[in-house]
Amino acid sequence: MAEIKGEECALCGEKKLTLRDEEIDVPHFGRLFVLTMECAGCGYKKSDVEPAEKKEPCKYVLEVTAEADMSIKIVKSGDATVKIPNIITIEPGPAANGYITNIEGLLEKVKEMIRAAVAGEDEDDDGSAMKKAKNMIKKLDNVILGRDTLKIILEDTTGHSAIISEKAVRSKL
């Protein structure tokens, strides 16, 4: 792993930014570069994953149907879009992070995003936004426990993402 400390942070200007670049081998996917930036001054963090080899744009669709699916690995680049129909769409952008996780980790991230979105909203007169958020979180909890199902769609124009499972259907984007 290569590490450079003391770089200038683009956000706070302090020379407390650490850059890391690590090459790892992910089974069934190949070699990846994991790139991270972290500022000890302001707390800024950014990460991404990039394959060592060039890839074709791709789309993965996974039907999550059992508790055992929670351990399925996901490699998501900062350029990927994650869609969970009727729950959320996570678009790529300048602040988007790449990461390696599993289905349970992704669903926990989504629950936190829903909680954060509701916390930042003004309460409607009838409380419908809060009720909708609670219902989405309840569904995600039930999926994690194997009591409900959902579909996860991962689309990446750079081809740098994957759902690593025989259950996942891969196609061209």
**Predicted pLDDT of residue 95:** 73
**Predicted pLDDT of residue 140:** 97
User: Would you list the domain boundaries of the chain?
Assistant: 1-53, 55-173
Note the pLDDT tens digit of each residue in 92-139. 887 788 888 999 999 999 999 999 888 866 655 567 888 899 999 999
Topology classification of domain 55-173:
Jelly Rolls (2.60.120)
At 88, is the pLDDT very low, low, confident or very high (cuts 50, 70, 90)?
very high
- Residue 133 near residue 141, CB atoms below 8 Å: no
Query: Average pLDDT in the 166-173 region?
Result: 94
pLDDT higher for 90 or 129?
90
**Predicted pLDDT of residue 36:** 93
Beta-bridge partners for 169: 61
- Residue 47 near residue 34, CB atoms below 8 Å: yes
**Predicted pLDDT of residue 158:** 86
Query: Average pLDDT in the 2-16 region?
Result: 94
Angle formed at CA 9 by CA 5 and CA 11, multiple of 5 degrees: 160
**Predicted pLDDT of residue 26:** 77
**Predicted pLDDT of residue 126:** 64
pLDDT higher for 121 or 31?
31
* Backbone torsion region of residue 43, taken as left when φ is above 0, otherwise alpha when ψ lies between -120 and 50, otherwise beta: left
Q: E strands along 8-161, which residues?
A: 17-26, 30-39, 45-51, 58-64, 73-76, 80-84, 88-90, 99-102, 150-156
pLDDT higher for 95 or 90?
90
CA distances from 160 to 96, 120, 148 (A): 14, 32, 29
**Predicted pLDDT of residue 124:** 54
CATH architecture of 1-53: Single Sheet (2.20)
**Predicted pLDDT of residue 125:** 56
Note the pLDDT tens digit of each residue in 35-75. 999 999 999 999 888 778 778 899 999 999 999 999 999 99
Note the pLDDT tens digit of each residue in 146-155. 999 999 999 9
